[in-house]
């Protein structure tokens, strides 16, 4: 059985990554809602959530 070259393996892997990224971005764009983007639980809006994330130092 023939083996793929290193370039062939990398091409398959990165094309798969690109396809999954594009699919995820398309689904997020189609079904996403800007009102609850960073506050999906509805308890905190985006700006305080971002400030808390930066202040916690866990980036």
Q: What is the pLDDT of residues 23-45, one digit of tens each?
A: 999 988 887 766 655 555 566 67
**Residues 46 and 38: beta-carbon distance below 8 Å:** yes
Mean pLDDT of 1-18: 93
Over 80: is that where the pLDDT of 21 sits?
Answer: yes
Tell me what pLDDT residue 16 has.
98
Chain mean position to CA 45: 20
**Residues 53 and 59: beta-carbon distance below 8 Å:** yes
Tell me what pLDDT residue 31 has.
79
Q: For residues 34 and 40, give the distance between their C-alpha atoms in angstroms, rounded to a whole number.
A: 10
In the chain, what are the domain boundaries?
A: 7-57
Mean pLDDT of 1-10: 90
pTM over 0.85: no
Q: For residues 39 and 43, give the distance between their C-alpha atoms in angstroms, rounded to a whole number.
A: 7
């Amino acid at each position: 059985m023939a083996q793929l070259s290193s370039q062939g393996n990398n091409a398959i892997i990165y094309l798969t990554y690109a396809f999954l990224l594009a699919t995820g971005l398309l689904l997020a764009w189609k079904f996403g809602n800007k009102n609850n983007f960073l506050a999906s639980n509805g308890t905190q809006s985006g700006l305080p959530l971002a400030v808390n994330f930066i202040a916690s130092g866990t980036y």
